[in-house]
Amino acid sequence: METIKITKMHGCGNDFVFLDYEEFQKSGKTLEELAKQLCDRHYGVGADGMIIPVPYEGEDADIAWHYYNSDGTTAQMCGNGMRCFAKYVFDRNLVSDKQFRVKTLAGIIQPKIMANGLVKVNMGNPILEKEKIPFSAPSTSWSGFCEVKNENYKITVKGKTFKITPVSMGNPHCVIFVKDNPHEYAKIYGSEIEKHRYFPEKTNVEFVKIISKNEVEMCVYERGCGITLACGTGACATVVACVLNNLTEGKVKVNLQGGSVNIDWKGSKEDPEKNISLTGPAQYVFYADFML
């Protein structure tokens, strides 16, 4: 029986299966088929996503990746996945420097492996324009922060109405602030909001509880995955929404179900087009030969 070499990694419990491009070619499967097989938690390795490094010949980046969700769909970006990717390709000598550029469907992303073993990722600017998120709700019926490129809106699912803040970090996010346990909201409402008609490409959904001006708790229902232990782009979108709603400062510790990450955004309502950085761990789980 044919086998391929794989590596399992996680960032705050957000877990991924890695394999080199040559191993993918050996499999004889499409990327979608292989992602579904490897990520299946009963018949495969079990993971939130599959990541494959890809050589890149352009001058604007040093390497590229294929990123697939567990359901076989592609995603533009993944912050936790990018931290693991940075460690994986550096340790395998696929890049020579600890800071480099990665070509993704969300553009060029720049990770940096820190001296303390953590990985910092320059995630670029948040996207707030409705058509670029994409987000297709009609004009808001209540005043949020309409003076900038974003607005607060309302969504009603299962008889409950939420005030939401749509943000893109290269992939769409719907941030909702709650006073109780975010995980309970994610379990009940996450699936319905993920596929709400306001989000034509579906959306990641973040339920957020404010702890202080510099700390929040968040649970995410990820597009194409369901509830996961962490989401890096979701943590970034959360802090952007917090700042735009005057709930926190720009440097925030985001407590996820699988651990914590630190987000730093120098943007504001008046000047939202500022880079946002994500810093957190990336850890190996195991290496294996997987039987196809």
Q: Is 142's pLDDT higher than 80?
A: no
pLDDT for the residue numbered 147 = 38
Q: Tokens for 278?
A: 């994500």
* Per-residue confidence (pLDDT) for residue 265, from 0 to 100: 98
- Active site residues per annotation: 78, 231
15: CB partners within 8 A, 6+ apart: 8, 9, 46, 47, 48, 229, 285
The alpha carbon torsion through 30, 32, 38, 39 (nearest 10 deg) reads 180
What are the structure tokens assigned to 189, written together?
């409402």
Q: Are 55 and 21 in contact (CB under 8 A)?
A: yes
Q: Which tokens hold the place of 71?
A: 């359901």
Tell me if 275 sits within 8 A of 124, measured CB to CB. yes
Model pLDDT for residues 21-35, shown as the tens digit of each residue: 999 999 999 999 999
Q: Report yes or no: 267 and 240 within 8 Å, Cβ to Cβ.
A: yes
Using N-to-C axis directions, what is the helix angle for 79-91 and 232-244, rounded to 10°? 140
Percent of the chain with pLDDT over 90: 89
Segment holding 253, helix H or strand E: strand 251-256
Q: Which amino acid is at 213?
A: K
In angstroms, the Cα distances linking 91 to 88, 113, 284 are: 5, 11, 11
One-letter amino acid of 188: I
Q: Is 20:50 a contact under the CB 8 Å cutoff?
A: no
What is the model's pLDDT at position 140?
52
Using CB atoms within 10 A of its CB, is residue 124 exposed (0-12), middle (13-18) or buried (19+)? buried
The sign of the dihedral angle between the CA atoms of 260, 264, 267, 273 is: negative
> Residue 275: which pLDDT band, with cuts at 50, 70 and 90?
very high
Distance between CA 194 and CA 185 in Å, rounded? 13
pLDDT the model gives residue 243: 95
Task: Give the DSSP H/E element, type plus range, for residue 113.
Answer: strand 107-113
| pLDDT tens-digit map of 31-70 | 999 999 999 999 999 999 999 999 999 999 999 999 999 9
pLDDT at residue 138, as a whole number? 76
What is the predicted pLDDT for the residue at 139? 64
pLDDT tens digits, 238-258: 999 999 999 999 999 999 999
Tell me the average pLDDT across 223-251: 95
Mean pLDDT of 189-200: 97
pLDDT attached to residue 268: 87
DSSP assignment string, 147-174: TSS---EEEEETTEEEEEEEEESSSEEE
Domains of the chain in start order, with CATH, are 3-124+282-291 (3.10.310.10), 130-274 (3.10.310.10)
Mean pLDDT of all residues in the chain? 93
